[in-house]
């Protein structure tokens, strides 16, 4: 699975708990209530374990976690720069 598919799978299974809501990679994760205060922390934890990549505190911002697409792009850029 590629990064986007892995993230989408985690969000659907663990954060959305299989709710019958279709989400696309560009959907707003916060405004739609998919991610809350604990969800974002869980997502950071998951990324660090799954991709073996330490997300710097200053990178945990809305712009990078706004959507699955934004997060995928951030991870690609950050991992390439690391």
Partner 1 sequence: MIRRLLILNGLAILGVILFHSSGWGFVAMFAWVHRYMPATTDTFAQAGGTAYYAFRLIEQLIVVSIPAFLFVSGFFIAFATGRTHKTVGWNIVGARIKNLLIPYLLWSLLAFAMGMVLDGRRLSPLAYVQLLLTGGATPAYYYVILLCQFYLFSPFLVPLAKKHWVLLLSVALVLQLAVQILQYPVILGLDVPSGMQPFVDRVPKWFFATRAFWFTLGVVFGFHLKTLKAWITRYKWVWLGLTVVTYVLGVIEWEMYIKWSGHIGMAHRETLLDNVFSIAFIFAFFAFANVSILWSKQLGWLGGKSFGIYMAHVPVMEVTARAIYHLAPWLLAYQILFQPILIVLGLGIPLLLIVLMERSPARRYYQYVFG
Binding site for partner 1 (CB under 8 A): 16-20, 28, 30-33, 36-38, 40-42, 44-45, 48, 55, 57-58, 60-63, 65-66
> CB–CB of 7/42 below 8 Å?
no
Which of 2/18 has CB closer to partner 1? 18
Q: How far is the CB of 23 from partner 1 (least distance, A)?
A: 14
Which of 2/73 has CB closer to partner 1? 73
Cα–Cα distance, 30 to 36 (Å, whole number): 7
Q: How far is the CB of 78 from partner 1 (least distance, A)?
A: 14
Helices 68-81 & 37-50 angle (0-180, nearest 10): 40
User: Residues for the chain: how many in total?
Assistant: 82
């Amino acid at each position: 699975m590629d990064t986007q598919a892995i993230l989408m799978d985690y969000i659907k299974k663990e954060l959305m708990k299989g709710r019958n809501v279709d989400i696309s990679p560009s959907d707003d994760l916060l405004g739609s209530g998919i991610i809350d205060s604990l969800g974002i922390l869980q997502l950071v934890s998951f990324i660090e374990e799954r991709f073996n990549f330490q997300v710097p505190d200053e990178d945990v911002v809305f712009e990078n976690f706004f959507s699955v697409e934004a997060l995928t792009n951030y991870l690609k850029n950050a991992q390439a720069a690391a």
